[in-house]
Amino acid sequence: NAKAKGRGSVSWFHDDMVDQLVSRFDLETALERALQTNGFSIYLQPIINRNASGRHFEALLRLDHPERGVISPGDFIDVAESTGLIVPIGAWVLEEACKMLSEYPDLHLSVNVSVQQFLQEDFVDQLTALLERYDFAPNHLTLEMTESLMIANFEITLSQLMAIRDLKIRLSIDDFGTGYSALLYLKQLPLDELKIDQSFISGVPHDSNDTSLVELIITTAHHLGLVIVAEGVETPEQEEWLRRHGCESLQGFLFSRPQPIKHYLPSFH
Ligand code: C2E
Ligand code: MG
Ligand code: MG
Ligand code: MG
């Protein structure tokens, strides 16, 4: 029609923005509804460590969207963060993880914690309450946080991490290498584990910049007494190289994609 013909790229851009707003609004509504109706689920992806006993998984959040099916955090985590909904959503994930841990004594779980959730004044109290309510070894729970979170709020972070360490819950730095933190900073934090971001692992063993960097991270992290996890391991060549260079834990599609809980814990719930 005439109106449509008269439109230039500017109004096309405008329509695109409207689409984005609608989709943001739709997502916010879907997230709110999911909180009320048990509309989230957790997928588990194994973390392989041949020296460790028991089984270890990372818990990864999914949204069961009524029309769009299962949605990954990449498509909704921004909206969850900017609306603050990540706080109750994250609390739900943590509680589900604690339930699983209390039902399976050989289980270890890693749970992602967002900045907003971590900066809740009562975050440590919430963890303490969970440890009282659910019976499991606290060192079977690992909290994964990004380095930007830790550096941006260094003072609060330090005292809060100390308090979490006192609870015997493990602490891991996620997506390591993507932020701005120097390895030196790490020395001051009570960490147990460091996860090398998959953007570096994807260059192993072919890209010499990536391999030098990963070698440096492994050496330094071991020097600091940290367990290293490589994320995004997709090929046998990566596995072989990482094992040869002393990386003890591996996670990635090579071993398994994230699977619904019932795949690994059939009797849960
Ligand atoms: P992350 O914590 O770094 O989790 C690893 C992501 O890499 C997961 O994406 C996983 O499915 C994906 N992945 C694992 N192995 C491979 C591989 O071999 N190749 C490739 N290409 N990807 C691999 P997912 O599940 O979509 O989660 C994305 C991010 O969303 C997570 O990154 C984490 O930052 C965030 N997230 C997930 N669950 C939660 C949660 O419960 N709370 C919060 N705050 N964030 C979460
Ligand atoms: Mg993670
Ligand atoms: Mg990660
Ligand atoms: Mg990552």
> What ipTM did this prediction achieve?
0.98
Our answer on whether the CB atom of 154 is closer than 6 Å to any ligand 1 atom is no
Predicted confidence at residue 150, as pLDDT, reads 77
144 CA closest ligand 1 atom index: 2
The first and second tokens of residue 25, run together, are: 């609004």
The first and second tokens of residue 128, run together, are: 């303490």
Our answer on whether the CB atom of 61 is closer than 6 Å to any ligand 1 atom is yes
Predicted confidence at residue 15, as pLDDT, reads 66
What is the C-alpha separation between 151 and 157, in angstroms, rounded? 8
The first and second tokens of residue 241, run together, are: 């190289």
What is the C-alpha separation between 168 and 245, in angstroms, rounded? 29
Contact 110, 97 (CB under 8 A): no
Separation of CA 111 and ligand 1 centre (Å): 10
Q: What is the pTM of this model?
A: 0.92
Using CA positions, which residue lies closest to atom 43 of ligand 1?
Answer: 112
What is the C-alpha separation between 183 and 188, in angstroms, rounded? 10
Separation of CA 23 and ligand 1 centre (Å): 22
- Per-10-residue mean pLDDT, the chain, length 269: 46 64 82 95 96 94 89 93 96 98 98 94 97 98 89 82 97 86 78 95 95 93 94 98 97 98 94
Question: Alpha helices, DSSP H only, in the chain?
Answer: 2-5, 9-37, 77-82, 86-103, 115-118, 123-133, 147-152, 154-166, 183-187, 198-201, 208-223, 236-244, 261-264
Using CA positions, which residue lies closest to atom 45 of ligand 1?
Answer: 112
* Ligand having the closest approach to the CA of 258: 1
Predicted confidence at residue 232, as pLDDT, reads 98
